[in-house]
Amino acid sequence: MSDELIDLALELRRHLAWQEADGSRVILADRAALKAAATTPAPARAPAPAPVATRAPAATTPAARPPAPAAAVAAAPVARRPLDEIRRELGDCQRCKLCSGRKTIVFGSGNPRAELVFVGEGPGEDEDRQGVPFVGKAGQLLTKMIEAMKFSRDDVYICNVVKCRPPDNRNPEPDEIAACEPFLKAQLASLQPKVIVALGKFASQTLLRDSTPITRLRGQWREYQGIALMPTFHPAYLLRQPDEKRVAWLDLQEVMKRFGKQSDGKKGQ
């Protein structure tokens, strides 16, 4: 401590002790004490105590789960429900523009416990009138194909990608397929067949999510939701291109092998 500060402090003490008789002795003693304090190092300051860690309060809501990968969502199986429940949900469907020109919704027909399912494109004029899939000329050929495979129509289940007839039997459009696809998937989930035969381009490409032409898809075993799937030509195409019946029959013989059935050489004509 400097002499100036000591003198300042002593002046303050003189003011406080001026009435005491022995004030001079007190002042001199205080001066000596102040000088001693100035030369004595200050004691080390104790370190501040470390802050006590406190546990954050428990969350009141569960942590959000990361979203599932898109591929996993796409591959997720559809819930299994009875066919009649799916038909009731379809109702008097107005989900796409095909509803404006149809006479009847063609949902599907056959054995609800079928191990073999045929999926076509969409109803034609005869199907639209009767409400049953594959009853026209293409349907008659399909019946012969099924019988040549040593099944009957009562053994199998038959449905289409779209449930209403496209005008003038044109190809179904993407928005029409998208509107009907959930019901097709629900049908297949309900049936849980051993094998699906996809008849033609639209059935094969819709179920497989594959734009490969049917001429290259056909005859190659594929898989839909864990179910074996055989793409082949549509019976309507075979009526226009009868030479392709031989190729389609080869595809159907592969399906027969899955069921332990042997071909006797008979073809669906």
Give residue-wise pLDDT tens across range 33-87: 434 444 445 444 544 444 444 444 444 433 444 434 433 434 456 788 999 999 9
pLDDT computed for residue 116 by the predictor: 99
Same domain membership, residue 13 and residue 94: no
31/156 Cα distance (integer angstroms): 117
pLDDT computed for residue 73 by the predictor: 36
pLDDT computed for residue 57 by the predictor: 41
- Whether residue 51 lies inside any domain: the answer is no
Query: Contact at 8 Å (CB) between 90 and 162?
Result: no
Same domain membership, residue 106 and residue 32: no
Query: Contact at 8 Å (CB) between 99 and 166?
Result: no
pLDDT band of 1, cuts 50, 70, 90: low
48/239 Cα distance (integer angstroms): 95
Q: Does pTM top 0.85 for this prediction?
A: no
Same domain membership, residue 199 and residue 135: yes
Containing domain of residue 104, as a range?
A: 81-258
Q: Which residue has the higher pLDDT, 30 or 192?
A: 192
Mean pLDDT of 82-99: 98
Same domain membership, residue 233 and residue 107: yes
pLDDT computed for residue 144 by the predictor: 98
- Whether residue 194 lies inside any domain: the answer is yes
**Residues 4-40: pLDDT tens digits?**
555 555 555 554 444 444 443 333 344 444 344 444 4
pLDDT computed for residue 268 by the predictor: 54
155/178 Cα distance (integer angstroms): 29
- Whether residue 111 lies inside any domain: the answer is yes
Same domain membership, residue 94 and residue 21: no
Per-chain mean pLDDT for the chain: 82
pLDDT computed for residue 56 by the predictor: 43
- Whether residue 54 lies inside any domain: the answer is no
89/83 Cα distance (integer angstroms): 10
221/223 Cα distance (integer angstroms): 7
Mean pLDDT of 84-109: 98
Same domain membership, residue 31 and residue 126: no
CATH number of residue 164's parent domain? 3.40.470.10
Same domain membership, residue 8 and residue 133: no
Domains in the chain, number: 2
Q: Which residue has the higher pLDDT, 52 or 88?
A: 88
- Whether residue 164 lies inside any domain: the answer is yes
- Whether residue 76 lies inside any domain: the answer is no
pLDDT computed for residue 76 by the predictor: 57
Same domain membership, residue 26 and residue 94: no
pLDDT band of 263, cuts 50, 70, 90: confident
Same domain membership, residue 94 and residue 214: yes
pLDDT computed for residue 58 by the predictor: 41
Same domain membership, residue 139 and residue 12: no
Amino acid at 194: K
pLDDT computed for residue 266 by the predictor: 58
Q: Which residue has the higher pLDDT, 68 or 199?
A: 199
Query: Contact at 8 Å (CB) between 208 and 217?
Result: yes
pLDDT computed for residue 189 by the predictor: 98
Mean pLDDT of 141-168: 98
Side-chain-side CA neighbours of 93 within 13 Å: the count stands at 27
What whole-number percentage of the chain has pLDDT above 90?
67
pLDDT computed for residue 79 by the predictor: 81
Same domain membership, residue 139 and residue 18: no
Q: Is the pLDDT at 249 greater than 90, yes or no?
A: yes
How would you label 124-143 residue by residue, b for 16+ Cβ within 10 Å and e otherwise? bebbbebebbbbbebbebbb
**Residues 214-240: pLDDT tens digits?**
999 999 999 999 999 999 999 999 999
142/239 Cα distance (integer angstroms): 11
130's tokens: 């009767």
Nearest Cα to Cα of residue 99 among 175, 13, 198, 193: 175
- Whether residue 56 lies inside any domain: the answer is no
238/244 Cα distance (integer angstroms): 6
- Whether residue 43 lies inside any domain: the answer is no
pLDDT computed for residue 119 by the predictor: 99
Same domain membership, residue 20 and residue 120: no
pLDDT computed for residue 78 by the predictor: 75
pLDDT computed for residue 23 by the predictor: 41
